[in-house]
Every structure is written in structure tokens, then in C-alpha cells.
A and B are shown apart, each in its own frame.
Chain A
Amino acid sequence: MQHLRKWLVVLLCVAFVITLVACDKKPDEPKPTDVAPTEGEPGEPTEAPPPASDGVTLENIKLGFVHITDPSDMGYTYNHDLGTQKMARELGLTDDQIVNKFNTAEDAACEAALRELVEQGCHIIFATSFGFEDYVMEVASDYPDVEFCHASGYQAAVSEMPNVHNYFGKIYQARYLSGIAAGLKTENNLLGYVNAYPFAECIQGFTGFYLGAKSVNPDVEMIVMNTDSWNDPQKEAQVAKALIEQGCDVIGQHCDSTAPATAAEAEGAFHVGYNSDMIGAAPNATLTSAVWDWSRYLILAVSNYVDGKAIPKDWGEGLAEGAVDISRLNEALVAPGTAEAIEAAREKIVSGDWDVFTGPLVNNQGEVVVKEGETYIEPASSPAWEHILEGVTMIGD
């Protein structure tokens, strides 16, 4: 009996660790041991020679993707996969030219997945989650002949490896437009935002959303609550409910699942989504979503490779180029005048004369972070905006 209890304690401790760390993640795959690093040094400082595309054409090019979840999240990965499919259609690639590694954790599993993709003969490997970057850098230094493209990262521009590239986009412009729908809809003048982590990519996103709302509703304030996870549907639903109980009547989100949408619908609040048109999940709550069109970048990268041209080091396009946009408006729910207000803002942004982070902007400590008449421009691929503006409260920092 004593013995058994000891074992039970040990087992439970193991279970806690699993729960805390990775119970929902795929277990690490064993690393291929037969991979001999071909080059330890991260290459000579170079003028980025064009990739070695000898004999590689659209018919035989092979692409690898590493995703943190899979398309069933109906969010980030779903949308990125739509981009992959669109690219494949437009370039005429077949299914067996694309290898997807879904549900890859941001740990050693990522490195194993990257190496497997190299082993399978991929020419370009796309890693789509922020936390993959360190593994990308490591694996890329071992395989200088393979091109690695990482979304939302920042290390490619400063690294000396010619085969690493970053891509992202001006999603804050789309968020600004979706924020207009929220700002016009809210009656309590209080928005809620289900946020993953308190770091630049997310802060930039909700600041764009907030500024959009504020542009049409100067009294609006916003509460941001973190879930501490990209994808924890249970937490996301609970956070959305907690925000609504604190008086928020429109919920925005930067997390992967539809849980905030359905939670808002159940509580009689409204919702602005991210990544995919979530109206199907919550027809009585979702107003619109800020969405990506990743196919633009994927087509560019693949065509450049095949043509023997270099893939851009640091790529980030916005509304004007069609890399980001908002999904259809839920006409039955949005406040009158929403479509017109969004169109006006869109024209302003697309014209290139004005951008979202235009001063005067004041942070929640009362300091001016962007002066009147100045505009803060985000670096192309890696968001760097970290100011929490006046009117925004963050919980769970």
C-alpha cells in the first residue's frame, strides 16, 4: 500500500508535467541520428547568391511546411493552408509536391520536423510559427542548399545565412479596419481582446485594432487579457466570458481557435475574428475578421526559386498589395455606416499617404510614443511595436 501510494505520487507528478508542458502536443519524434552536419559555420558573408535551382522546375519542386496546429483550428493554420492550396492551384503544383508537418510543437519536435523535410528532399521549407525560428536558424546552418522561410521572425535580416528568409505582413492594417466595425458596434464603449502573449506581434495587432475602433469612436476603451498560449480553446472561451462579464460587448482576438466567437455568441456579445471568416462558427456574433492571404508570398518565393532569383530576406506586404484584408462583413449585425467607414479608411491606407501608427499616440503611462505628424513604420517582417496605448488595460502581463 505504502509502495503503491509512492508510485501514485510519482505518476501524478509526471502527469502534471505532461499537462503543463505538452499534453496536447505531439510527442517528440526521435531525431534522425544519421544526419551529418554539412557545414557548421553559418556560411561566408555573401551578397546572397541566388538559390541553387539547377534543374528544379514547377513540375519537380518540393515544398515543406511546418505548422503548430492543423487546419482544424479554423484559424491561423487553416488560413495558412488555404494560402498553400491557392499557391499550388495557381502554379499547378500537385499534392505530392507539398509535405505538411502539422501539430508540431515549438520545441525539439520542430527541429526533427525540419530535418525530416530536408531528408524528404524539400527545396523550400516554410515554418509558420514564431517559436520555430531558433530551430530554423539551427537547421538552416546545416543545410545551406535548402531555402528556409520563417513567418513572423526577425533573425533573417541580421543573420549572414543567405538561405534564411522572414515573411510577415502589415496585419495591423487589416486589424485597423476590423477595429472600425468593433468601434461602431460597441454600446458600452468597452472592447475586450482575447490575446495570446504579451509580446510585439500581439501588441501590434491589438493596438491596430484599438486605433481603428478609436478612429470612429473616440470614447472607446479596451481590456486585453492573455491566455498564455497560441491555442488553448478552453482558456480562450473562459477569457472571453470573463471579459464580457467585465462589461466588454465586442470581443476581438489574437489566438487560434473559434472559441472566443462562440463564447461571445453565447453571452450575447459581438466578436471580431482573426485568420478566417468565423461567421460560420458564430453567425449571431461575428462582425468580420482580419485575414491573411499567404498565397502572395508563397507564389513569390516559389517562382523566384524556380527562376533562379533570390527570395527576399525580409518580406512584408499589407493592404495595398492584398497580403492582408478583412473577411466579409456580417451585414445583419454591423452598425449602419460600417462599410463606408471601412472603405474610407482602406483608401487612406492603400494610397500610401497615411499609416495606422500615426501620432500623436500616448502610452498608458502618459508618455508620447509617436509625436504628432510622425508615423511609426513597422520593420517589414517582424513586428516591433510594444507600446500599450492610453485607454488599453492589459490583464495577465
Chain B
Amino acid sequence: MNTLVSLLNAAVLAGTPLLLATCGEILTEKSGSLNLGVEGMMYMGAIAGLAGAWYVEQWFGHGGLLAAVFAFVFAFLCGALGGLIYAILTVSLRANQNVTGLTLAIFGTGFGKFFGEVLGHKAGGYVTVNAETKAMYGRINFGKLSEIPVLGTLFFKYNWLVYFALAVAILLGWFLNRTRKGLSLRAVGESPGTADSAGISVTRYRYLAALGGGGLCGLGGMYMSMVDQKGIWVHDCISGYGWLAIALVIFATWNPLRAIYCSIIFGGLSVMYMYVPISGLPLPIYRMFPYIATIIVLIITSMMQIKEHAQPAGTGLNYFREER
């Protein structure tokens, strides 16, 4: 029982950066842009968040809340910058979406590592934030609540970004399915031509969705550098989570609410070997579990062909008004 509770707790922590990035990608794909550059945007957010916090400490002499706010804003903006590059190339210049996304993944990875290095040289070899800033990413103090057996560990032993990610997913679900603007966004993604005829600006929606989606991916990256690595720049800190997030979008069938539990399942599968050892099963095979799960879900969703669970019809295609 204790093992299961610990596993779930670790699964939520491992799933949170995935949830943020997945929400970002769902927002982007719902508008009709298939941005495969999530890994890159996460790297951009990871380094920008760390740099934001570190510079605040250098400028003001102390970290803490201010550093966390700056890290948040910087990470969002830098992730959005990645989204902007993507939108300019695909929406305005009508470059191929897949190629652009893959290029962005490579670009962002290099961006993160390069500036991580630069920052390391500036800091004398070792970028690390101070204890005050680190504490901002520790567990929230819920007092007695986190002492409750089982429930305490399951619900009240997380940092604030976990709850933030949850709120983002719920808000995004509400926005897409319950608001007028969300409806327009979905229309742009399903059939840009129809949306255009109805007077909805395809360009504006796709730009804003790419920016917002990129920003959320950036926050997912910030989670990995600030929470998982505790504010130290480590090369390879994203370690493929961006690709997992893209798979999760399909796993969650483009639904932000479903992404919540899917990300926990995914996170759980990736840390399961640490809690539930299966003797005789080689570790490299055990570590494939999340990937195998994705492939199975891919096959099942392709076979079932449920319209509601399908990718928005216009995703991956650039919109030319003249070719309507």
C-alpha cells in the first residue's frame, strides 16, 4: 500500500511537466498547427526560467518569490518565442509544419544547451540558485493536511506547479469546450476554410494558439530545470520529455481533461521500476513501458476512428485562402 502511494506521488511529480507541455501542444494542435518542436520549446523554457531566477538573484541580491516570478515569466515568454518562430514559418510563410516543428526541436535543444553553457561560464562554472529560490519550488507547507495517511501523500505533498498544471488543464478544457472563443479556435483547427467564411481570423487564432502553447511548453521545461534539478543547469535535463508530451496528446485524444490522468499514467510507467521491481525483467525493457503504451494507444485510436477522439481535421495543413 505504501509503495503504491509513493509510486502515485512520484507519478504525479513525473507527470506534471508532461501535463504542462501536453496542454500546450493540445492548444496548438486544436488550432490546426502540428508543432513537433515541444522538446525544443521545453529546453528554451528550462534555460530561460533558470536564467531569469539567476539574474534576479544577481541584480537584487536575493531570490525567493521575485526570482520565481521572473523565472515563470521568462520561461513562458521564451517558450512562446519558440511558438512564434513556428507560427511565422508555418502560418505566414506556409512552410511545412512537420519539418518546421522538427527543426524547432533541434534548434531549441541547442538554444538551451548553448545558453546553459554561457550562464555556466558567467557563474564561474556552476549555475545554481540560492536556498531561498530553491525553497520556492519545494513542497508547499500544508501543515497537518500532508500528515493525513495516504490522502496526505496523494494530494498535499507537492510543489505549487503541480496544482498550477492541474488548473491549466481544467481551464484549457473549459476554454476549448465551453467558450465562444474556444469554439472558434476549434473551428479554425477543424476546417479553416469554413471558419474563415464565418469571419474568424485563421491567422490570428493560429498565432495566438502557437504562442500560448509554446509558453506552456516553456513552463513544462522550467519545471524540469527548477523543480527536478533544483535550479541547477544540467545538460540533457529535458531528456526526451518533449517527445513524450507529443505522444501524450494522442494518448489523451486531444482532450486537456483526459491529459490529467494520462500524464499520471505516463509518469507512473516511467518511474514504476523504481518502486515495483519485477525480478528477471531486464531494466532496458522495463524502461520501454511508456513507449510501448503509446504505441498501443496509437494503434487503438487509429483503429477505433471515433471522430471526437481524432486529431482536428485541419491539423498539419497550412491554410491558403486562395486555395479554398
Contacts and interface: CB of A to CB of B under 8 A. Distances in A.
A16 B128 contact: no
A397 interface: yes
Nearest to A70: B235
A36 interface: no
Nearest to B275: A242
Given A12-B246, A72-B233, A233 B239 contact: yes
Chain B contact-residue range equals 35 or more
Residue in B39, B232, B244 with the greatest tally of chain A CB atoms within 10 Å: B232
B200 to A, nearest CB: 21
B247 A242 contact: no
A19 B244 contact: yes
Interface in B12-34: 13-14, 34
Tell me if B's interface is mostly helix, strand, loop or mixed: helix
B283 interface: yes
A231 to B, nearest CB: 6
A73 B234 contact: yes
A249 B311 CA distance: 47
Given A15-B246, A238-B10, A281-B128, A4 B234 contact: no
Contact of B36 (A11, A225, A239): A11
B126 interface: yes
Contacts of B230: 262-263, 265-266, 281-282
Contacts of A20: 240, 288, 291
Contact of B232 (A1, A15, A241, A258): A258
Given A19-B244, A72-B120, A4 B315 contact: yes
Contact of A16 (B120, B233, B236, B294): B294
B98 A11 contact: yes
B313 A235 contact: no
A8 B313 contact: no
B6 interface: yes
A245 B10 CA distance: 10
A284 B247 CA distance: 38
Nearest to A394: B277
A187 interface: no
Nearest to A396: B283
Given A12-B250, A239-B274, A262-B229, A234 B34 contact: no
B241 interface: yes
Interface string A53-77: 0000000000000000111111000
A4 B316 contact: yes
Contacts of B131: 283-284
A92 interface: no
B143 interface: no
A59 to B, nearest CB: 28
Given A12-B250, A72-B234, A233 B228 contact: yes
Tell me if A's interface is mostly helix, strand, loop or mixed: helix
B246 A233 contact: no
Nearest to B241: A234
A74 B126 contact: yes
Contacts of A237: 228-229
B132 to A, nearest CB: 13
A9 B286 contact: no
A395 B294 contact: no
B235 A12 contact: no
Given A1-B313, A242-B6, A396 B232 contact: no
B317 interface: yes
Given A12-B246, A23-B243, A234-B241, A259 B234 contact: yes
A339 interface: no
Contacts of B313: 1
B237 A233 contact: yes
A7 interface: yes
A19 B224 CA distance: 17
A174 B32 CA distance: 58
B234 A24 contact: no
Interface in A1-46: 1, 4-5, 7-9, 11-13, 15-16, 18-20, 23-24
Contacts of A281: 126, 128, 230, 232
B277 A396 contact: yes
Contacts of A24: 109, 235-236, 238-240
A390 interface: no
A103 interface: yes
A355 interface: no
B98 A242 contact: no
Contacts of A226: 283
A65 B239 CA distance: 25
A7 B315 CA distance: 12
Nearest to A232: B239
A257 interface: yes
A259 B235 CA distance: 11
A280 interface: yes
A106 interface: no
A72 to B, nearest CB: 5
A98 B9 CA distance: 47
A8 B235 contact: no
B6 A228 contact: no
Given A245-B6, A396-B283, A238 B234 contact: no
Contacts of B98: 7, 11
Interface string B124-138: 011010010010001
Given A245-B6, A259-B229, A16 B247 contact: yes
B39 A23 contact: yes
Interface in B261-280: 270-271, 273-275, 277
B289 to A, nearest CB: 12
Nearest to B316: A4
A231 B294 CA distance: 24
Interface string B285-298: 01110010011001
Given A15-B36, A20-B240, A245-B10, 16 more contacts: A5-B311, A8-B316, A24-B240, A72-B117, A72-B120, A72-B234, A74-B125, A103-B235, A234-B224, A234-B239, A234-B241, A237-B228, A245-B275, A263-B230, A395-B273, A396-B273
Interface of B: 6, 10, 13-14, 34, 36, 39, 98, 102, 109, 116-117, 120, 125-126, 128, 131, 134, 138, 224, 228-230, 232-241, 243-244, 246-247, 250, 270-271, 273-275, 277, 282-284, 286-288, 291, 294-295, 298, 302, 311, 313, 315-317
Q: What are the 9 closest A-B residue pairs judged by CB atoms, nearest first?
A: A242-B274, A262-B230, A19-B240, A24-B236, A396-B283, A233-B234, A19-B243, A245-B6, A15-B243
